Amino acid sequence: MTESVKIVYKDRIYELPVRTGSHGEKAIDISNLRDQTGFITLDPGFANTGSCSSAITFMDGERGILRYRGISIEQLAEQSSFIETSYLLIHGRLPTVKELQQFSVLLNDNSLVHEDMRGFYQHFPRASHPMGILSSMVNALRSFYPVLETTDEEIDLTVTRLLAKIRTMAAMSYKISRGHRVVYPRPDLSYCANFLNMMFDTPVMPYEIIPEAVDALNVFWILHADHEQNCSTAAVRLVGSGRVNLYAAISAGIAALWGPLHGGANQAVIEMLSEIHANGNRIRPYIDRAKDRNDPFRMMGFGHRVYKTYDPRARIIKKTCDRLLAKLRISDPLLDLARELEEAALKDDYFIDHNLYPNVDFYSGIVLRAMGIPTNMFTVMFAIGRLPGWIAQWKESMDDPNWKISRPRQLYTGPTQTDYIPIGQRNL
């Protein structure tokens, strides 16, 4: 028997069905609300509004739980690889040994970028932000790989091309921005090792593949791989709902992720910590500014729309930080500062009352710095990690028989009907 809720308005009673999720979470189905009542709902920022049903990622914001296709990120970070986790998200199950081998071979076979695309990079100003370049280059892939996504095979090919080429394109933007020779992917290296090699190998100083750095990158990208209906994923679904090609939908996701309130926060955290460090490590003024409602400053890397406790990804990233920095014998003053800031904030009533805890971005920049990734590429690293999640969410929406173009309504608050005034009758 379907549960329902009743809405009483004046002398009318309306009944709406209630839907139940896998863990008992409840949703009022308002898909017929306007037809039944003439009303719409209003929910700026969609804090209370579900856009879809999804079987990909489960988050429990109160208990700090995150699972991809039912498997906890703790287990995946400990035992899986980014490529295996990508397969899990996109195909809905872990691959067999043979399937994983085939997937890795396909990713290698498709990891080159059309040579004519290199010309695009030459014409971006050297100081261009890599996220703007990445969003443009992903969109441009459609011109160079115009396979339509009508059959499953074509969709799989486009998905493989995206996953294979995004890290090549990211590394290319770094090399070309520095006037260095582009390094090609190697068939003998894993997905993550290939990326680091493409970023840092040079003819005069061959890059030494450090297993702990490759492991840290695998964990970093596993933790970023999906996060249900966040801003950039919602953008991919919304843009995709117009039945545009996957490259364009992903390009929109990259653009949405760029913002400092979203994926751009990992770069903003390091910039904030560097500023505090340069000012003598005095954290109190920054904590006071974060608490001042008249000050637009936000404590970057803190707070989350869903997590009202410690972001489970931040815990794992913090451990990865310790392991990698110990192995590389790096002591990063910004890590010590981050720990001090976390300790002070978590004791502060404002942060406690507002449920503000470190999120995935608070420590991730420290790991990336230890790998040698430049700060302006931190959000690119987030985008590469989130790509399998965006793809999985796009596929799920395309396969949904009830899916339709996203077109929200609004509550109009502008002027009621007014007449046009000819220019000759207006004030001078």
Binding residues (CB under 6 A) for ligand SDX: these are 45, 227, 230, 261-263, 265, 290, 293, 298-306, 354, 356, 359-361
Catalytic residue among 277, 361, 400, 419: 361
Angle between helices 82-91 and 378-399 (to 10 degrees): 20
Q: Give 123-132's long-range contacts (Cβ < 8 A, gap of 24+).
A: 124/173, 126/177, 126/179, 128/177, 129/258, 129/376, 130/170, 130/173, 130/174, 130/177, 130/376, 130/377, 130/379, 130/380, 131/254, 131/255, 131/257, 131/258, 131/264, 131/379, 131/380, 131/383, 132/258
For the CB of residue 393, give the shortest distance to ligand SDX in the complex, in Å: 11
Min CB(114)–ligand SDX separation in Å? 30
> In terms of CB distance, is 230 or 397 closer to ligand SDX?
230
Closest separation between CB of residue 206 and ligand SDX, Å?
35
Q: Which is nearer to ligand SDX, 300 or 334 (CB)?
A: 300
34/305 with CB nearer ligand SDX = 305
Buried b / exposed e over 72-97, threshold 16 CB at 10 Å, is ebeebbeebbbbbbbbbbbbeeebee
CA angle 405, 407, 411 (to 5 degrees): 165
**Closer residue to ligand SDX, CB minimum distance, 200 or 394:** 394
361 is catalytic: yes
Given the complex with ligand SDX, which of 95 and 303 has the nearer CB atom? 303
Q: Which entry of 201, 224, 304, 311 is annotated as an active-site residue?
A: 304
For residue 32, how many other CB atoms are within 10 A of its CB? Answer: 11
Task: Supply 126's token pair.
Answer: 């050297």
Residue nearest to ligand SDX (CB): 303
Q: What is the smallest separation between the CB atom of 112 and ligand SDX, expressed in angstroms?
A: 30
Indicate if 292 belongs to the active site: no
CB of 287 to ligand SDX, least distance (A): 9
Catalytic residues: 304, 361
